Structure 1
Amino acid sequence: MKRIVITCAAAAALATSLFAVAHGNVTPQGVDTTGLPVLGEKWREENPYKGNQLALKIGTSAYNQNCARCHGLEAVSGGIAPDLRLLDRDCVGMRNEAKKKACYKEIDAYFLTSIRHGKVRNGAVYMPPFEGVFNQEAMWAIKTYLETRRASE
Protein backbone atom coordinates (compact mmCIF):
# COMPACT_ATOMS: atom_id res chain seq x y z
CA MET A 1 0.00 0.00 0.00
CA LYS A 2 2.89 2.39 0.79
CA ARG A 3 4.32 1.81 -2.66
CA ILE A 4 1.01 2.74 -4.32
CA VAL A 5 0.73 5.94 -2.24
CA ILE A 6 4.30 6.93 -3.10
CA THR A 7 3.69 6.15 -6.79
CA CYS A 8 0.50 8.27 -6.78
CA ALA A 9 2.34 11.12 -5.09
CA ALA A 10 5.15 10.89 -7.63
CA ALA A 11 2.64 10.86 -10.50
CA ALA A 12 0.87 13.92 -9.06
CA ALA A 13 4.18 15.78 -8.68
CA LEU A 14 5.16 14.91 -12.24
CA ALA A 15 1.78 16.01 -13.62
CA THR A 16 2.00 19.30 -11.71
CA SER A 17 5.50 20.00 -13.00
CA LEU A 18 4.46 19.19 -16.57
CA PHE A 19 1.47 21.53 -16.24
CA ALA A 20 3.78 24.35 -15.15
CA VAL A 21 6.12 23.71 -18.07
CA ALA A 22 3.20 23.55 -20.50
CA HIS A 23 2.47 27.21 -19.80
CA GLY A 24 5.90 28.06 -21.14
CA ASN A 25 7.57 31.39 -20.64
CA VAL A 26 5.33 33.54 -18.46
CA THR A 27 7.45 36.66 -18.90
CA PRO A 28 5.27 39.24 -20.65
CA GLN A 29 6.14 39.66 -24.30
CA GLY A 30 6.63 43.13 -25.72
CA VAL A 31 3.93 44.60 -27.93
CA ASP A 32 4.95 46.59 -30.99
CA THR A 33 2.31 49.31 -31.40
CA THR A 34 4.00 51.02 -34.34
CA GLY A 35 1.41 52.59 -36.63
CA LEU A 36 -1.27 53.11 -34.00
CA PRO A 37 -2.21 56.69 -33.09
CA VAL A 38 -0.14 57.66 -30.05
CA LEU A 39 -2.39 58.24 -27.04
CA GLY A 40 -0.03 60.22 -24.85
CA GLU A 41 0.37 60.20 -21.09
CA LYS A 42 -3.26 60.76 -20.09
CA TRP A 43 -5.14 57.47 -19.75
CA ARG A 44 -8.25 57.24 -21.91
CA GLU A 45 -11.57 56.29 -20.35
CA GLU A 46 -12.87 54.54 -23.45
CA ASN A 47 -11.28 52.39 -26.11
CA PRO A 48 -10.05 54.85 -28.75
CA TYR A 49 -9.33 52.03 -31.21
CA LYS A 50 -12.84 50.55 -31.65
CA GLY A 51 -13.00 49.24 -35.21
CA ASN A 52 -9.34 50.07 -35.96
CA GLN A 53 -8.03 47.18 -38.08
CA LEU A 54 -4.37 47.72 -37.17
CA ALA A 55 -5.28 47.77 -33.47
CA LEU A 56 -7.19 44.52 -34.01
CA LYS A 57 -4.15 42.89 -35.64
CA ILE A 58 -1.79 44.11 -32.89
CA GLY A 59 -4.28 43.23 -30.14
CA THR A 60 -4.80 39.72 -31.49
CA SER A 61 -1.06 39.04 -31.44
CA ALA A 62 -0.60 40.68 -28.03
CA TYR A 63 -3.48 38.67 -26.54
CA ASN A 64 -2.13 35.39 -27.92
CA GLN A 65 1.37 36.07 -26.59
CA ASN A 66 0.41 37.42 -23.18
CA CYS A 67 -3.15 36.60 -22.17
CA ALA A 68 -4.15 33.29 -23.79
CA ARG A 69 -2.09 31.18 -21.39
CA CYS A 70 -4.58 32.06 -18.62
CA HIS A 71 -7.69 33.39 -20.38
CA GLY A 72 -7.67 30.79 -23.15
CA LEU A 73 -7.21 30.74 -26.91
CA GLU A 74 -9.59 33.11 -28.65
CA ALA A 75 -10.62 34.36 -25.15
CA VAL A 76 -12.40 31.07 -24.39
CA SER A 77 -11.41 30.25 -20.83
CA GLY A 78 -10.10 26.83 -20.00
CA GLY A 79 -11.03 27.42 -16.38
CA ILE A 80 -7.90 29.12 -15.09
CA ALA A 81 -9.14 32.69 -15.51
CA PRO A 82 -12.38 34.39 -16.58
CA ASP A 83 -13.76 33.92 -20.09
CA LEU A 84 -13.14 37.35 -21.60
CA ARG A 85 -15.82 36.91 -24.25
CA LEU A 86 -18.23 37.53 -21.39
CA LEU A 87 -16.52 40.70 -20.15
CA ASP A 88 -19.29 43.00 -21.30
CA ARG A 89 -22.15 40.50 -21.49
CA ASP A 90 -24.44 42.76 -19.43
CA CYS A 91 -24.20 45.47 -22.10
CA VAL A 92 -24.86 43.38 -25.19
CA GLY A 93 -28.63 42.99 -24.88
CA MET A 94 -29.44 46.51 -23.76
CA ARG A 95 -32.06 48.16 -25.96
CA ASN A 96 -31.54 51.73 -24.75
CA GLU A 97 -28.55 52.97 -26.77
CA ALA A 98 -27.52 55.61 -24.22
CA LYS A 99 -27.46 53.02 -21.42
CA LYS A 100 -25.66 50.55 -23.66
CA LYS A 101 -22.95 53.10 -24.50
CA ALA A 102 -22.57 53.97 -20.79
CA CYS A 103 -22.32 50.26 -19.97
CA TYR A 104 -19.54 49.71 -22.52
CA LYS A 105 -17.71 52.77 -21.19
CA GLU A 106 -17.91 51.34 -17.66
CA ILE A 107 -16.55 48.00 -18.90
CA ASP A 108 -13.70 49.82 -20.68
CA ALA A 109 -12.79 51.46 -17.35
CA TYR A 110 -12.99 48.09 -15.54
CA PHE A 111 -10.79 46.45 -18.21
CA LEU A 112 -8.20 49.22 -18.04
CA THR A 113 -8.06 49.10 -14.23
CA SER A 114 -7.71 45.31 -14.31
CA ILE A 115 -4.92 45.21 -16.89
CA ARG A 116 -3.05 48.15 -15.38
CA HIS A 117 -3.20 47.07 -11.73
CA GLY A 118 -3.82 43.33 -11.93
CA LYS A 119 -6.03 41.29 -9.62
CA VAL A 120 -5.02 40.45 -6.06
CA ARG A 121 -7.29 38.87 -3.44
CA ASN A 122 -6.21 37.96 0.08
CA GLY A 123 -2.60 38.50 -0.92
CA ALA A 124 -2.80 36.04 -3.83
CA VAL A 125 -1.99 37.40 -7.29
CA TYR A 126 -4.62 36.21 -9.74
CA MET A 127 -3.44 38.50 -12.53
CA PRO A 128 -0.21 40.49 -12.55
CA PRO A 129 -0.26 44.24 -13.21
CA PHE A 130 0.78 45.16 -16.74
CA GLU A 131 1.24 48.90 -16.27
CA GLY A 132 4.87 49.61 -17.03
CA VAL A 133 5.04 46.46 -19.15
CA PHE A 134 2.50 47.44 -21.82
CA ASN A 135 1.84 50.96 -22.97
CA GLN A 136 -1.69 52.34 -23.18
CA GLU A 137 -1.80 51.65 -26.92
CA ALA A 138 -1.09 47.94 -26.36
CA MET A 139 -3.76 47.66 -23.67
CA TRP A 140 -6.43 49.25 -25.85
CA ALA A 141 -5.37 47.12 -28.82
CA ILE A 142 -5.99 44.01 -26.70
CA LYS A 143 -9.41 45.38 -25.76
CA THR A 144 -10.11 45.95 -29.47
CA TYR A 145 -9.39 42.26 -30.07
CA LEU A 146 -11.62 41.21 -27.16
CA GLU A 147 -14.50 43.23 -28.60
CA THR A 148 -14.40 40.99 -31.69
CA ARG A 149 -14.64 37.93 -29.44
CA ARG A 150 -17.69 39.25 -27.56
CA ALA A 151 -20.36 36.66 -26.81
CA SER A 152 -23.64 37.52 -28.49
CA GLU A 153 -27.02 37.64 -26.73
Structure 2
Amino acid sequence: MKKPFWIALTVLMLSGLFLAACGGGSSKPTIVRKDPPAEYAGKTNPYTGDQAAIDEGKALYTQNCESCHGTAGLGDGPAGAALDPHPGNLQQASKDASEAYLFWVVNEGGAAAGRSASMASYKGILTEDEIWKILAYVKTLK
Protein backbone atom coordinates (compact mmCIF):
# COMPACT_ATOMS: atom_id res chain seq x y z
CA MET A 1 0.00 0.00 0.00
CA LYS A 2 2.91 2.34 0.63
CA LYS A 3 4.37 1.93 -2.87
CA PRO A 4 1.49 3.70 -4.76
CA PHE A 5 1.65 6.58 -2.27
CA TRP A 6 5.36 7.13 -2.89
CA ILE A 7 4.94 6.85 -6.63
CA ALA A 8 2.12 9.40 -6.59
CA LEU A 9 4.14 11.70 -4.32
CA THR A 10 7.20 11.42 -6.59
CA VAL A 11 5.13 12.18 -9.70
CA LEU A 12 3.53 15.15 -7.94
CA MET A 13 6.91 16.53 -6.83
CA LEU A 14 8.45 16.09 -10.28
CA SER A 15 5.45 17.83 -11.83
CA GLY A 16 5.89 20.72 -9.40
CA LEU A 17 9.59 20.98 -10.24
CA PHE A 18 8.81 20.94 -13.94
CA LEU A 19 6.24 23.72 -13.58
CA ALA A 20 8.62 25.76 -11.43
CA ALA A 21 11.35 25.40 -14.06
CA CYS A 22 8.97 26.67 -16.73
CA GLY A 23 8.00 29.76 -14.74
CA GLY A 24 9.96 32.87 -13.97
CA GLY A 25 10.51 33.93 -17.55
CA SER A 26 9.33 37.14 -19.04
CA SER A 27 5.59 37.50 -19.33
CA LYS A 28 6.12 39.57 -22.47
CA PRO A 29 5.71 37.62 -25.70
CA THR A 30 8.69 37.05 -27.90
CA ILE A 31 8.38 39.19 -30.99
CA VAL A 32 9.12 37.23 -34.11
CA ARG A 33 10.56 39.52 -36.74
CA LYS A 34 10.51 37.79 -40.12
CA ASP A 35 11.26 39.11 -43.52
CA PRO A 36 8.13 39.65 -45.59
CA PRO A 37 7.39 37.08 -48.29
CA ALA A 38 8.68 37.63 -51.82
CA GLU A 39 5.52 39.37 -53.04
CA TYR A 40 6.03 42.07 -50.36
CA ALA A 41 9.82 42.24 -50.20
CA GLY A 42 11.27 45.43 -51.60
CA LYS A 43 7.98 47.35 -51.57
CA THR A 44 8.41 51.00 -50.67
CA ASN A 45 5.91 53.63 -49.65
CA PRO A 46 5.00 55.85 -52.61
CA TYR A 47 3.56 58.46 -50.20
CA THR A 48 6.55 59.12 -47.94
CA GLY A 49 6.83 62.89 -47.53
CA ASP A 50 3.58 63.60 -49.45
CA GLN A 51 1.72 65.91 -47.04
CA ALA A 52 -1.71 65.44 -48.66
CA ALA A 53 -1.33 61.65 -48.40
CA ILE A 54 -0.06 61.95 -44.81
CA ASP A 55 -3.17 63.99 -43.92
CA GLU A 56 -5.38 61.31 -45.50
CA GLY A 57 -3.36 58.69 -43.63
CA LYS A 58 -4.02 60.48 -40.35
CA ALA A 59 -7.79 60.34 -40.94
CA LEU A 60 -7.56 56.66 -41.90
CA TYR A 61 -5.38 55.94 -38.86
CA THR A 62 -7.92 57.63 -36.58
CA GLN A 63 -10.72 55.49 -38.03
CA ASN A 64 -8.91 52.15 -38.19
CA CYS A 65 -5.91 52.08 -35.86
CA GLU A 66 -6.13 54.61 -33.05
CA SER A 67 -8.50 52.65 -30.83
CA CYS A 68 -5.84 49.98 -30.32
CA HIS A 69 -2.53 51.74 -31.09
CA GLY A 70 -3.41 55.08 -29.46
CA THR A 71 -3.24 58.66 -30.67
CA ALA A 72 0.56 58.74 -30.74
CA GLY A 73 0.97 55.13 -31.91
CA LEU A 74 2.42 53.90 -28.62
CA GLY A 75 0.11 50.89 -28.36
CA ASP A 76 -1.88 52.50 -25.57
CA GLY A 77 -5.30 52.93 -27.16
CA PRO A 78 -8.41 52.20 -25.06
CA ALA A 79 -9.35 49.06 -27.03
CA GLY A 80 -5.74 47.86 -26.93
CA ALA A 81 -5.68 47.86 -23.13
CA ALA A 82 -7.84 44.73 -23.14
CA LEU A 83 -5.57 42.86 -25.55
CA ASP A 84 -2.83 40.46 -24.49
CA PRO A 85 -0.28 41.14 -25.75
CA HIS A 86 -0.89 44.86 -25.99
CA PRO A 87 -0.66 46.42 -29.46
CA GLY A 88 2.76 47.30 -30.78
CA ASN A 89 4.47 50.65 -30.47
CA LEU A 90 4.19 51.99 -34.01
CA GLN A 91 6.68 54.80 -33.41
CA GLN A 92 9.34 52.21 -32.67
CA ALA A 93 8.18 49.78 -35.36
CA SER A 94 8.41 52.47 -38.04
CA LYS A 95 12.07 52.95 -37.08
CA ASP A 96 12.98 49.27 -36.67
CA ALA A 97 11.13 47.55 -39.50
CA SER A 98 11.16 47.99 -43.25
CA GLU A 99 8.24 49.60 -45.05
CA ALA A 100 7.65 46.28 -46.79
CA TYR A 101 7.42 44.46 -43.45
CA LEU A 102 4.97 46.98 -41.98
CA PHE A 103 2.83 46.89 -45.12
CA TRP A 104 2.80 43.07 -44.95
CA VAL A 105 1.69 43.04 -41.30
CA VAL A 106 -1.14 45.52 -41.88
CA ASN A 107 -2.27 43.82 -45.08
CA GLU A 108 -2.05 40.19 -43.92
CA GLY A 109 -2.48 40.59 -40.15
CA GLY A 110 -0.24 39.87 -37.20
CA ALA A 111 -0.57 36.09 -37.29
CA ALA A 112 0.91 35.97 -40.80
CA ALA A 113 4.07 37.59 -39.44
CA GLY A 114 4.31 35.40 -36.35
CA ARG A 115 2.88 38.16 -34.18
CA SER A 116 -0.39 38.48 -32.29
CA ALA A 117 -3.54 37.41 -34.11
CA SER A 118 -5.21 40.39 -32.41
CA MET A 119 -3.73 42.49 -35.21
CA ALA A 120 -6.35 41.91 -37.88
CA SER A 121 -5.72 41.69 -41.60
CA TYR A 122 -6.85 44.82 -43.41
CA LYS A 123 -6.67 43.16 -46.82
CA GLY A 124 -10.02 43.78 -48.48
CA ILE A 125 -10.92 46.39 -45.85
CA LEU A 126 -8.39 49.04 -46.84
CA THR A 127 -6.88 49.49 -50.28
CA GLU A 128 -3.13 49.21 -50.71
CA ASP A 129 -3.00 52.98 -51.22
CA GLU A 130 -4.86 53.55 -47.95
CA ILE A 131 -2.46 51.27 -46.07
CA TRP A 132 0.53 53.14 -47.54
CA LYS A 133 -1.02 56.48 -46.54
CA ILE A 134 -1.51 55.22 -42.97
CA LEU A 135 2.11 54.07 -42.88
CA ALA A 136 3.27 57.46 -44.25
CA TYR A 137 1.38 59.09 -41.38
CA VAL A 138 2.75 56.64 -38.78
CA LYS A 139 6.28 57.56 -39.86
CA THR A 140 5.55 61.15 -38.73
CA LEU A 141 4.47 60.16 -35.20
CA LYS A 142 6.76 61.37 -32.42
- Relative contact order: is structure 1 or structure 2 higher (C-alpha 8 Å, sep ≥ 6)? 1
What 5-or-longer segments of structure 1 have no aligned partner?
1-41, 91-105
Shift of 1:66: 0.6
Q: How many residues are aligned here? A: 93
Higher Cα Rg, which structure: 2
Structure number with higher strand proportion: 1
Instruction: Report the secondary structure of 1:87's partner residue.
Output: helix
RMSD: 2.4
Instruction: Find the aligned partners of 2:75 and 2:126 in 1 and give their Cα distance.
Output: 22
Q: Does 1:85 align with 2:91?
A: yes
Poorly superposed stretches of 4+, deviation over 3 Å: none
Instruction: Find the aligned partners of 1:148 and 1:71 in 2 and give their Cα distance.
Output: 15
* Identical-pair percentage: 27
Superposed, 1:57-96 pairs within 5 Å as 57-78=55-76, 80-90=86-96
What 5-or-longer segments of structure 2 have no aligned partner?
1-38
User: For 1:32-72, what per-residue CA distance to the aligned partner results, in whole angstroms no more than 9, with x for missing partners?
Assistant: xxxxxxxxxx9780000111011111000110111011111
Q: Does 1:128 align with 2:120?
A: yes
Structure 2-normalised TM-score? 0.58
Instruction: Find the aligned partners of 1:137 and 1:46 in 2 and give their Cα distance.
Output: 12
